[in-house]
Amino acid sequence: MEIAALFFLTSGLFLGWALGANDAANVFGTAVGTRMIRFTTAAIICSIFVVLGAVISGAGASHTLGKLGAINAMGGSFMAAFSAGFAVYTMTKFGLPVSTTQAIVGSIIGWNLFSETVTDTASLIKILSTWVVCPILAATFAIILFKLVTVLLKKTNFHLLRTDAYTRIGLILAGAFGAYSLGANNIANVVGVFVPSSPFTDFDVMGLMTISSIQQLFLMGALAIAVGVITYSKRVMMTVGDGLLPMSPVAAWVVVVSHSLVLFLFASQGLEQFLASHGLPTIPLVPVSSSQAVVGAVIGIGILKGGRGVRWRILGGISMGWMMTPIIAGIICFVGLFFLQNVFNQEVYSKVPYALSDPVMKRLEHAGVPTEPVHDLKGRLFTSGKRFEKALDERMALSYKEKSKFMDYARVDELVVDMKRASAPKLGGLSAGQIKAIRALGGQTFPHLWMFDEALARTSGEWQARDATTANKAHNKDLKTKLTFLHRLFRAKE
Written in H, E and C, the secondary structure of 75-130 is HHHHHHHHHHHHHHHHHHHCCCCCCHHHHHHHHHHHHHHHHCCCCCHHHHHHHHHH
pLDDT score of 1 more than 60: no
User: How many Å apart are CA 295 and CA 399, to the nearest integer?
Assistant: 38
319 and 393 share one domain:
no
Residue 318 lies in a domain: yes
Nearest Cα neighbor of 12 from 195, 174, 182 is 195
Looking at residue 62, what is its pLDDT?
Answer: 58
How far from 283 is each of 58, 178, 272, 280, CA to CA, in Å? 16, 19, 6, 10
Residue 348 lies in a domain: no
Buried b (16+ CB within 10 A) or exposed e, 138-172: bbebbbebbeebeeeeeeeeeeeeeeeebbeebbb
Averaged pLDDT, 99-126:
89
319 and 422 share one domain:
no
Between strands 415-416 and 354-355, the pairing is: unpaired
- The greatest distance separating any two alpha carbons of the chain, rounded to the nearest whole angstrom, comes to 81
Q: Which of 320, 342, 364 is the last residue in one of the domains?
A: 342
Buried b (16+ CB within 10 A) or exposed e, 409-448: bbbbbebebeeeebeebbbeebeeebbebbeebeeeebbb
Residue 347 lies in a domain: no
pLDDT score of 63 more than 80: no
256 and 170 share one domain:
yes
3-state secondary structure of 445: strand
155 and 173 share one domain:
yes
Q: Which of 342, 367, 386 is the last residue in one of the domains?
A: 342
Looking at residue 109, what is its pLDDT?
Answer: 95
pLDDT score of 242 more than 60: no
In a 10 Å sphere around its CB, with 0-12 CB exposed, 13-18 middle and 19+ buried, how is residue 345 labelled?
exposed
Looking at residue 284, what is its pLDDT?
Answer: 74
Kindly report, residue by residue over 358-414, the tens digit of the pLDDT. Answer: 999 999 999 999 999 999 999 899 999 999 999 999 999 999 899 999 999 999 999
User: How many Å apart are CA 103 and CA 16, to the nearest integer?
Assistant: 12
Round the average pLDDT of the chain to a whole number and report it: 84
C-alpha triplet 469, 264, 74: angle, nearest 5°: 90
Averaged pLDDT, 181-206:
74
400 and 420 share one domain:
no
Looking at residue 421, what is its pLDDT?
Answer: 85
User: How many Å apart are CA 53 and CA 55, to the nearest integer?
Assistant: 6
Between strands 209-211 and 203-205, the pairing is: antiparallel
* Range name among 166-170, 178-182, 279-283 with the lowest pLDDT average: 279-283
| Alpha-helix runs per DSSP H in 266-357 | 269-277, 290-304, 312-342
Amino acid residing at 368: G
Kindly report, residue by residue over 266-275, the tens digit of the pLDDT. Answer: 877 777 777 7
Looking at residue 202, what is its pLDDT?
Answer: 66
Residue 349 lies in a domain: no
CB 135 within 8 A of CB 292: yes
Averaged pLDDT, 100-115:
92
User: How many Å apart are CA 201 and CA 193, to the nearest integer?
Assistant: 16
434 and 302 share one domain:
no
Kindly report, residue by residue over 37-62, the tens digit of the pLDDT. Answer: 888 898 899 999 999 988 887 765 55
Residue 41 lies in a domain: yes
Looking at residue 199, what is its pLDDT?
Answer: 67
CB 117 within 8 A of CB 352: yes
Kindly report, residue by residue over 452-464, the tens digit of the pLDDT. Answer: 999 999 999 999 9
150 and 58 share one domain:
yes
Residue 451 lies in a domain: yes
User: How many Å apart are CA 119 and CA 103, to the nearest integer?
Assistant: 16
325 and 424 share one domain:
no
pLDDT score of 12 more than 80: yes
User: How many Å apart are CA 410 and CA 384, to the nearest integer?
Assistant: 11
pLDDT score of 278 more than 60: yes
Length of the chain in residues, anyone? 494
Q: How many domains does the chain have?
A: 3
Looking at residue 471, what is its pLDDT?
Answer: 65
Higher-pLDDT residue of 69, 417: 417
What band does 494 get if pLDDT is binned at 50, 70 and 90? very low
132 and 244 share one domain:
yes
Domain extent, residue 379, equals 354-410
**R_g of the chain, CA atoms, integer Å:** 24
Residue 190 lies in a domain: yes
What band does 429 get if pLDDT is binned at 50, 70 and 90? confident
User: How many Å apart are CA 198 and CA 9, to the nearest integer?
Assistant: 9
Q: What percent of the chain has pLDDT over 70?
A: 89
Looking at residue 178, what is its pLDDT?
Answer: 86
User: How many Å apart are CA 417 and CA 426, to the nearest integer?
Assistant: 14
Top mean pLDDT of 18-22, 148-152, 240-244 is at 148-152
57 and 160 share one domain:
yes
191 and 59 share one domain:
yes
270 and 185 share one domain:
yes
Nearest Cα neighbor of 106 from 91, 78, 87, 89 is 87
User: How many Å apart are CA 210 and CA 128, to the nearest integer?
Assistant: 35
Residues pairing with 381 in the sheet? 355
Looking at residue 24, what is its pLDDT?
Answer: 75
What band does 245 get if pLDDT is binned at 50, 70 and 90? low
